[in-house]
Structures are given as structure tokens and as C-alpha cells.
Chains A and B, each alone.
Chain A
């Protein structure tokens, strides 16, 4: 692309992504207040305790988003290793007694001043950056098993070990998904990947069955109504919430089910509270906004030059999209219960900040590689069939 044209189009945000993100955060704030107020009164004596914190993180996140947008994304390519190293260090620090905060048998947060940091969230972004860097470096050599797969498998093992001790199965599964899909996009051999998936399936199954609480969750997933008093508790109430919501919901603040989620309705199961209070309309808006975000994000990836930029945009977009899908699938009992937040909506500062920084990076890529004037927006059919023929 001639330098001139590129310059001309620079300086523009991808407004669609921005609107989608702000819309999700706005709905998130409303739902965090609605879902948490009863509990916040019970624990902290103030119904706005969680809301205020989330609002603070959202505003801070906006500052980050708009600042990061101006940092050239190539910086991350250079800093890929330091960022990864720092994240591993943070994750490792959790294991040092006295630093990690133990909540409900899991050590996932560390306390820094008045806020809790969740290193797993930072790790997710670090992994995306590292994978984009690594895949770009390896390029066409990705087809070799020893180059394309082994190093990443090794990394996965290291991080998996750290997560194992927390334990945080959900975040680890999320990272495995992200690494896997980035390997796929980065040109790894399909046969290798297939073998890996099979292997991961086996290991996953073994892991699931090794811990009693996970086994019970699977049973609860398959037969929630029969395990209603035990592990099916959350999921049956989640389903009842969706059912009660119907088309238009019972109105914000009027949901019943949120009063009884254990332990907290404003994090992993906020989507079902939203389903009860805003009904199919609200749920549809959320799914739509996520779809919009993913579509625009992947469009940025498509038009960015091959290599780091494309893979980074791809990784950021798919990780957010996947996590949203997984969370929503869990709340609707399409997948077994797993501790995963709904991006931008669930309560949680680390997650919100990291996601907004990620969007900032995505916006910078969009800004550096604007759509060529007059170019059509990428269209699924055209890309899939037409481009493939061209290559073949």
C-alpha cells in the first residue's frame, strides 16, 4: 500500500469496536450493580460497593484504552519475552505464601494496596503477544513438529504447572484454547494439531476425573436437575433465570435468582442474571455486541500485514470472543461449570483492565493499517471460497 494512502486514513478509531466495547461495559455496570447490590449490602453495608469499584476500573480502563492505542504495536514484538517473563513471575509469586490471597480454596489473586490483581488475566495477554511473536519468527517452519509445536507445548506445560498449584483450571483451559487456535492460525501442521487435540482431550479427561469436585461438576452438567441440591445448584438456577426472563425480562433490579447464587452472582453467572432481568432482548444485545466485536477484530486481522500484526489482532479478538462464548455456554449449560468471567461485563478489575488494554492494542493495529479506501468489508463467503481457489 502506498505510504500516502495509508497516512491519509490514519488517526481514525475503529468506532464500531469502540461502540461495542462501551456498550458491553455499560450493560456490565448496570448488571454488576443489580446483581451485587443485595450481597454488597449484606457484606459491606453499601449497595454500591462493587458497582463503585467496577466503575473506577472502567474509567481507569478507558484511560488505558485511549493511551495504549497510541503505542505502536511493534513495541510488543520487541518486548515479547520480558512481558512473558514478568507474567510468569507474577503467576509464580502467587505460590509464595503470604503474597497470594486464598479465596474459597484457590489462590488466584494477589493483594497490591487496595486492589487484588489476578495474574492469570495478565498472563493471557502475555501469551497472545508471545505467540504472535513466536509464530511470526518461525513462519513457514511452523510445519515442522519440532519447531512449530514442541516449544509451545513446553510453554504450555510450564504455565499449566503454575496454574495447577493455584488451582485455576478455567483460566488454564482458556490459555490452552488460545494457544491452540493461534497455532492453527500461525500455520501449524493440521495433523500435528489434531494429534495434540486428541492428547489434550485425554489429559483433560484425566484431569477432570482426578479431582472429585470436577467429576461432580461433569455429573451436574449432564444431569443438572437431578443434582439440584449439590453441584447442579448453580446451573439449575441459571436455567430458571433464563426461563423466567422470557422475551423481555423481569426488569433490571427485579431478578430473584441473583439473590441466591453461591457464592457471587456478579462474576461468573452475571449473564444469567442479565437473562432474567433483561430477557432475550438484553441477552441478544450482548451476544450481538460480542459478535460485532469479533467480526471487526478479525477484519482488522485480515487486513493487517501477515505476521505479528495479524496474529496479534487475531489472538486478542479470538481470546475475548472465545471467553465470552465459553462463559455464555457455561451459563446455558452447553458446557460444564467452569470459573470464567464474561469479558467487559463480569465484575473484576484485572479482567476489565486487561481486556480494555487489549482493545487499545487492537485499535492501534487498526490505526496503523486502515482499510484501503473503497475496499469492501471482508465478506465470509468471498474470502473462504474465492481466496482458497486463488491459493490452490
Chain B
């Protein structure tokens, strides 16, 4: 020891002792660090196993998934109990007696059951048959005493009561994949869990999923639960209310009647989606309950692509529904005005080619309003040439084409708005003037989605506001508190002055209500519908006629049929786009749109007894269309 005689020595001594203390703490931290590495790395696996297999076990409690409902609370997705028959090998004695009985009750092969049991841990239930019906369940329950070790496990299973009606919007769940588990986007999930894979189920997964809870149980040496020590209840998922109106949705589904196509109905002054049907559809329950390889192959090989949401995924030539955009470009660019007249002789010679009007004997002399109403091709060929393709493209984009609408349902197609730069980029070729003629009437490389066209129609109907589509109205907690709402947002204004827009509106009014309108068949004073037919050629006109005459597989070469509409003319409430793939002429779609509008407006202002109007709604009673021709 040092001899402390003076303040200076004391000072130095203190200094040294601080250093010793530093060393001491350094050692302590070192020991701690080593201990942690030992626990977490070298003992990690063992301790983790202990936490799972220990006498005190933690069991995960899965939350109930939130429900999905339409705007009026009709359930589109909820949960049903699923019964699994399981067997605990250790308790199933004598096995010689149990297995044959179980096999006969479940209508399974005994060897199959034995294979499933295999060398599984003796105290853990082995799944023998999943999702048995209540009848099988009843039989097994009744003979329980003869079946020691057989247990019934109940789990909530997603269920879509409406089956295919909303399949493309609500989407489906299926088992989480290994990649998804590793991605870190699904932190609370474990193998075997179901997650939203498509549609609202996917996009609102975080709301719907809820939060897992846990239960701490004490198990005996045989692994059976002896005592529940503590429970943290799971937090159920939130409920999602869509903007859909199931009355319209079902109506639209019935109207399409399995023909490939789509119907989109939106609230004209909000962009809220009232109905969105893609046809044909599929049963989303298949994805949850499991399907056979054969069922899966049928789904993906179906030439009509039932899994595809044709309202947003597919791009289709808009045909004559595009003419409003050409008209808008001509009017706004000053190339035509309300009195500009062009003569239609049934065809237009351009270069060494004739471009035909659908009315091959011609429309005579027309101005823009009538040209829209009668859908004269020659008029718009001429406007298109005056304006040029780049200007048309500019206005098309101004009307929301060529871009995703922002529905937020995944995989939305932006469509195509062709112009010179586009062709240079994609094909590395110059633009030919002749192509401008095709584009001007919505043919050529033009591609749009039914959703884009419905929103476009709504914008014309409401006086020029192009809305972002809204599909979800609100999210509510399980207790009913509103967690999130979605309010309408104007994406942009149509690039048209009030006067010019009014001309276009007059044209669409005339198409339905005029004496020579292409859709005059659906004229109805009470509904005050304005609309526009569209017929998009799939192949050239000559080829089409040849194919239709010669080939058995005719349908592939039929034209696509479109109808877009809004109503009523003033104080517009609803806009609809109907698209039928290979549906023939656009007039085929018009009655469908009319019925949707009628259903909606009648629902808004019920005209006395609702039942009275019901018989008139069946498609068979409609005006003459080529509905029957298809059959």
C-alpha cells in the first residue's frame, strides 16, 4: 500500500482507482456480452425449442379476420367455423380398432391415415381430414367413445357468401408462401396462415388481419393441456365497408350472364364505385378451401380468363366511345365549332385507301352533335386529320386515359394512348397519317379499361370533374368506431370549356334520345340517359366478315361492344361503362347500362311500389338487340 501523506498523492491515487473501476466495469460488460452471445447464439435454438415444448407452453391465438361489407352492410366476406378431424397418436389405443372405424367414418383408406400419422410426435394432433362437413362431424362426435385420441379442431375459415359476385374486388386469401414469410412484410405470420392475396383482402390486409394473442398453458408429460395460466386475447381485425351497392352488383352480374366483359358503375359526382363486375367470374372460396389441380387448370386455361378483372386489367380498344375525345380536341383546338359541317358519303379516301363509315351508305351532312349521336366515322376521320394524333393523345390523357386511375386494387392497367413519340418508343417506326384516322375513332393502338371509361363518362355527366375512383368507403373497428374514411378527390378537370362540353353532352343525349341516335332503343323519358355506343374491331372488317363466314370459332373475331352512359342529364347521379368482349355492336351493351341506371335511380327515388317495375327488368323484354344473335 502507498503511504498517503499529502493531498497530491491522494489525488493521484484517486485517479488510479478510477482507472481500476473502469477496468472492472469493462470486465463486467465483457462478461455480459459473452453471456448474451452464449444465450442468443449458442443456446438460442435450445431455448427456443424449450419455449415451444416446455411444460409451460405458449400457444398462438389467431384473431378473427375483419369482415368486408358493401355500402349497406351486406356481407361479402366473413368467417365460418371449419372442423378438422385430428388424431393424437399416443392416445389412440388400441390403434387396430380405431383406425378402421375412423377410416370408414371418414370414407378414407386406412393406409392413407397411417401414412399421415407416420412418425409424427406422439402428443401433437395430426390432421387426418380437414374441413369435414357437419354430417361427418356429427357421425364422429356420436361415436367419440369408440375413438379415443380423435379430436375435432375448430378454426375460423374465410368464407365468401356471394361467391363470384364480388370476387374481383374482394379478392381472396390463400396460404402464405415461404417468400412472403421471409420478406418481412408479414411480421406476425407463421407457415400455414392465410393472408390476402388479391383484391381488398390483399390491399387492406393490415386492417383486416387483426393482432394475434396468446395463451400460456401448462401441459402434462403427455403434452395435454392441464391448465390455462394466462390469456392475452387476440384483437379482431377491422371491418372494411366498400362503396359497392350489392343490388347493382348482382344486377350487373345477372345482366352480363357469364359473357366475357365488364360493367363499372360509379357515382357521378364522387367517383365512388357502385358496381364493378368482371365476367366470367370464379368462386374465391376455392382458394381458401383448397382446389384440385384440375379445378386450377380449368381456371387458368379458360379462354375467357375468369381470374382477370376485366374492369381494370384488360386494355381494350374503346371504339366510338372515344369520339367524344376527338370531338373535344377538335372543338378546343378551334378546328371545328358547333356549326362545322362535314359530309359523310359512307367512306373517306385517304391516300390510296378507303376508310369506311359503319353506315356504308353514309350519313350525309352532319355537325358535331349529330356526328356523336349517330357515331359517324367519316366526320371524326376528318376532325382527326385536322387536329393530328399528338393533340388527340393530349386530350385523351386529359380525360384520364393512358394512366392508372389509382383505384388501388393492384395490377391496374394504364391502357395505351398512342402518339408519335409512343410509336417511336415502342416500335421505333414513324407515325403514318392513316393511323391517325383509326385513332380518331378509337381503333388502332388505343387501349382503355372499362373503369377509365366509366370515370370519363362520369366527368362528362357531372360537368367536367374527373374523380379518383373510391372503392372503400370506410374502415371500422370491431366495436364500430370509424378508423379511416375515404373522401372523394377530383383528379383533374376535363380539358374542355363549358360550352364545348355542352356540345358533347348534347351529342351523347342525342345518341340515346335523338331520332337517329345509335342507342335510341333505350330511350326513356324518366331516366334521362345520355350515352355513347362503341364497337371496336378485333380484326379488319374484310377479314372479320371472312372469318365469321368461314370459321367455326367465330366468336374470337366478333367486335368488342361498348356502351358508356350517365344519367340523369342534369344533376347527374350515376355513370356506367358496359363492355362485352366480342359482344358485337355497341347497341348490345346499351340495354344493360339502362337497366343498371334504372335499378339505381329507382332505388334512390322509389317510384311507389318497387315490385311494380320488376317484370320490365328482365333482359328478354328488352328492345331489339343482338342479344339473341349470340346464342
Residues on A close to B: CB < 8 A? 38, 41-42, 139-140, 142-143, 181, 184-187, 189-191, 228-229, 236-237, 239-247, 251, 253-254, 256-257, 259-260, 275, 279-280, 283-284, 287, 290-291, 294-295, 298, 301-302, 306-307, 310-311, 314, 318, 321-322, 325, 328-329, 332, 334, 380, 383-384, 387-388, 390-392
> Which chain B residues border A251 with CB–CB below 8 Å?
184, 187
Task: Report the Cα distance A185→B275, complex, angstroms.
Answer: 80
Shortest Cβ distance from A320 into chain B, in angstroms? 10
Report whether B32 and A328 are in contact in the complex, using a CB–CB cutoff of 8 Å: yes
Decide: B56 and A228 in contact? CB cutoff 8 A.
Answer: yes
For A334, the chain B residues whose CB sits under 8 A away are 31-32, 35
**Which one of B2-10, B72-80, B385-393, B571-579 is at the A interface?**
B2-10
Q: CB-CB < 8 A to A237: which residues of B?
A: 51
Taking A140-B5, A246-B44, A260-B232 as given, write out 8 further A-B residue pairs in contact, using a Cβ cutoff of 8 Å, ordered by the A residue number: A181-B21, A228-B54, A247-B44, A257-B51, A260-B58, A322-B25, A329-B35, A332-B39
Taking a contact as CB atoms under 8 Å apart, the answer to whether A242 and B16 are in contact is: no
Q: In this complex, what residue of B is CB-closest to A279?
A: B40
Chain B residues within 8 Å of A, Cβ to Cβ: 1-2, 4-7, 9-23, 25-26, 28-29, 31-33, 35-37, 39-41, 43-48, 50-51, 54-56, 58, 60, 184, 187-188, 213-214, 216, 218, 229-230, 232, 235
Contacts of A275 in B (CB 8 A): 36, 39-40
Q: Are A140 and B9 in contact (CB under 8 A)?
A: yes
Q: Please tell me which one of the listed residues B18, B39, B188 contacts residue A302 in the complex, with CB atoms under 8 A apart.
A: B18
Q: Are B47 and A291 in contact (CB under 8 A)?
A: no
Q: Which residues of B contact A139 (CB under 8 A)?
A: 7, 10
Chain A residues positioned under 8 Å from B44 (CB to CB): 242-247
A237 to B37, CA, bound (A): 17
A-B contacts counted at CB < 8 A amount to: 189
Q: In the complex, which of the residues B4, B18, B184, B214 contacts A314, with contact meaning CB atoms closer than 8 Å?
A: B18
Interface centre among B17, B18, B187, by most chain A C-beta atoms within 10 angstroms, is B18
- Choice from A140, A243, A380 contacting B43 with Cβ under 8 Å: A243
Is there contact, CB below 8 Å, between A294 and B15? Answer: no
Q: How far is the CA of A284 from the CA of B235 in the complex (A)?
A: 32
CB-defined contacts of B47 to chain A, threshold 8 Å: 239-240, 242-244
Contact B51 A321 (CB under 8 A): no
Can you list 10 A-B pairs, Cβ within 8 angstroms, ordered by A? A181-B21, A184-B17, A236-B56, A240-B48, A241-B51, A246-B44, A260-B216, A306-B10, A391-B16, A392-B2
Q: What is the CB-to-nearest-CB distance from B268 to chain A, in angstroms, rounded to a whole number? A: 41
CA A280 – CA B216 in complex, angstroms? 25
Contact B11 A306 (CB under 8 A): yes
CA–CA, A242 to B188, complex, Å?
18
Instruction: Tell me whether A283 and B40 are in contact (CB under 8 A).
Output: yes
Q: Which of A140, A184, A243 contacts B46 (CB under 8 A)?
A: A243
- Residues of chain B within 8 A of A38, CB atoms compared: 213, 232
Q: Cβ of A321 and Cβ of B6 under 8 Å apart?
A: no
Contact yes or no, A306 B40, CB < 8 A: no
Nearest Cβ distance between residue B540 and chain A, in whole angstroms?
A: 58
Q: Determine whether the beta carbon of A185 is less than 8 Å from that of B36.
A: no
- Contact between B39 and A243, CB atoms less than 8 A apart: yes
Q: Report the separation of the CA atoms of residues A267 and B229 in the bound assembly, to the nearest whole angstrom.
A: 22
- Of B9, B50, B55, B230, the contact of A240 (CB 8 Å cutoff): B50
Evaluate contact between B40 and A280: CB separation under 8 angstroms: yes
Which of A181, A284, A302, A329 lies in contact with B15, CB distance below 8 A? Answer: A302
Contact of A244 among B23, B36, B48 (CB under 8 A): B48
B11: chain A residues at CB < 8 Å are 306-307
Given contacts A187-B13, A256-B214, A391-B13, contact A325 B40 (CB under 8 A): no
Nearest to B47 among chain A residues (CB) is A243
